[in-house]
Chain A
Amino acid sequence: MNTDYVLMKGNEAIAEGALRAGCRFYAGYPITPQSEILEYMSLNMGKRGGTFIQGENEISSMSMIWGAAAAGARCMSSSSGPGYDLKQEGISYLSSYNLPAVIVYAMRYGLGDGEITAGQDSYWEAVRGGGHGDSRQIVLAPASVNECASLTYEAFDIAEKYRNVVIILSDGAVSQMIEKCNLPEPKEHDIDEFDWVISGKPLGTKKNKVTNLDRTIGYEASDKYVLDKYKTMFENEQRWEEFETDDAELVLVAYGISSRVCKTAVRQARKNGIKLGLLRPVTVWPFPRKAFEKMPESVKGYVTVEMSLSTQMGEDVLLAVKHSKPLYSYLTTYHIPTADGIVDYCNSVIAGDVEPREVI
């Protein structure tokens, strides 16, 4: 029996996972449903010898991250919805000099103020975002409290490996739920590990100028560096989980909270002889295209289950299968999907009562 667990919220697991990864700088601003991250950091960061700052806004918090990351610290910020919009400026800056940092996006539903409850309709913003300019961020989507801790812990290594921003894409449900969590071993990070940091160095030695990378090494070298890096990340970092896909006729594609419900739906459907499977992207960028290449011949179509108004992730599914299979989307907006609802929808798909999704 596993006795090493703690019971904690997804948000707390994200914060503790970061601290155990050696994150020693956090700056952020409160917004539901991620405020427990900030609160947890306010209580615990000082005990680990790090800095917690409740910023005057998200923009300044990200600027502090820009400075702290350039100085070599493992650092993190977190937000949601309108707050995350403001973080995009900082993500663009971090990407301009290829600084590593981990940014948490606990999605809430809707435009503008929207709802403070769970949603997945900021998928595009998280996956295609990164602020102005042309950049990619690795986006990890935990579906359990355990993954909140383990993926955040690992995110710092990935961020440094590629010198890139990594996004933890959670939602109001995963962030707010309590489950058993096995916490990773604490470790420390050396702020002088990398040669690109700014620290204050003797005259006559090599200095770092933290600004757009092209201003230092030229556009040609910078463009090549960045494109090569994105390609490597795309090749190396695709992660996913498969559930009952071996003989599936219809494969559900879902991440985060929706994927949890999908798993229940698959079990339920299979009891009634309906061959559903689940493909759960763990990285939503890079989207796990390799998983689709390996899907069995039995698969007749894909159904994305998304808490959004439009088919968002479905676009990536169509790209992954090169439009070779029909795509359906079960979209539940601000409602958490139910297993019954998913199974009913899939029955309609199988019966031919649902038109495939057109992506506009």
Chain B
Amino acid sequence: MATYRKPVSIINEAGWCGGCGHGVVQRLITECLEELGLQDKAVCVVDIACSYWSLDALDYDAIAGPHGRCAAVATGIKKVRPDSTVYVHAGDGSSYVIGLSETCYTAIRDIPITMIVVNNGIFGMTGGQMNLATTLIGDKTVSSKEGRDADTMGHPVDMLNIIKNLDVEFAARGALYDAKHIDETKRYIKRGFENQMNKKGFSIIEVLSPCPTNWKMTPIQAMEKIKNENEKMFPVGIYTDRGGETV
């Protein structure tokens, strides 16, 4: 049964914009850790981008990875502290664009961390530029003002379709546009932490998340866009599950 108590791990306010999905993701992470009793061994790796706010918001030891390098930073920590619960909270620019190599090789090495990637289709912190991996064709950003054009900018890519072939423990995508999907996303994140608790391999959970500020939309319009457009390109669900259990 879901809890409505605010997680005690959240001790400071974060500076995310109104309607941003990062805060929901942070809340789901902390709820999962507390429900699993892992809050006292959590080490949080954030990126130098929007997820950075979580560094001070939580009562966890935390480290900011160089932009894009979170999976590598988490690898270093987990190898030194195998009993700690090491997780990454980063964006899609970090994890799939500049840090594509780090993300993929951490997956290939099957490092037993839990990686949560916020897919909001944009570079939020730097003011809303196009994301090569996740901005949809036709979406307008400050660096694709006429809309993303495949001829000059290529197509977005479903990274989970690639990562699922790297023999990882668990790869799944959730969304935040309604309570049902938030619940589903939470189950995926929890599974990622359970895998780490049970000394299993690399788990990645991507979350389709709104960025109303840079999408120049109201929060409700942003949720509608995810449901009607982004999810078509990036379907939710489990992409691979080595344990083979249902979530």
Contacts and interface: CB of A to CB of B under 8 A. Distances in A.
Contact of B64 (A24, A25, A27, A210): A210
Contact of B76 (A25, A56, A59, A200): A25
A183 B86 CA distance: 36
Contacts of A53: 75, 79, 109
A208 interface: yes
Interface residues of A, number: 39
B63 A210 contact: yes
A191 B80 contact: yes
B241 to A, nearest CB: 25
Q: How large, as a class, is the contact surface on chain B?
A: 35 or more
B43 interface: yes
B16 interface: no
Interface stretch (A67-75, A276-284, A308-316, A335-343): A67-75
A300 interface: no
B76 A27 contact: yes
A68 B72 contact: no
Contacts of A84: none
B206 interface: no
Contacts of B144: none
Interface in B97-151: 101-102, 105, 109
A217 to B, nearest CB: 13
B80 A60 contact: no
Interface stretch (B52-60, B162-170, B212-220, B221-229): B52-60
Given A60-B102, A200-B43, A200-B85, A67 B76 contact: yes
Contacts of B65: 63, 66-67
B34 to A, nearest CB: 9
Most buried by A among B55, B72, B73, B102: B72
Contacts of B64: 210-211
A230 to B, nearest CB: 23
Interface of B: 8-9, 39-43, 45, 52, 55-56, 59-66, 69, 72-81, 83-86, 101-102, 105, 109
28 contacts: A27-B76, A53-B75, A59-B69, A60-B72, A63-B69, A64-B75, A64-B79, A67-B78, A68-B77, A69-B76, A70-B77, A89-B66, A191-B80, A191-B81, A198-B77, A199-B81, A199-B84, A200-B42, A200-B61, A200-B84, A200-B86, A202-B40, A207-B59, A207-B61, A209-B62, A211-B52, A211-B55, A211-B64
Interface of A: 24-25, 27, 51, 53, 55-57, 59-61, 63-73, 75, 89-90, 93, 191, 198-204, 207-211
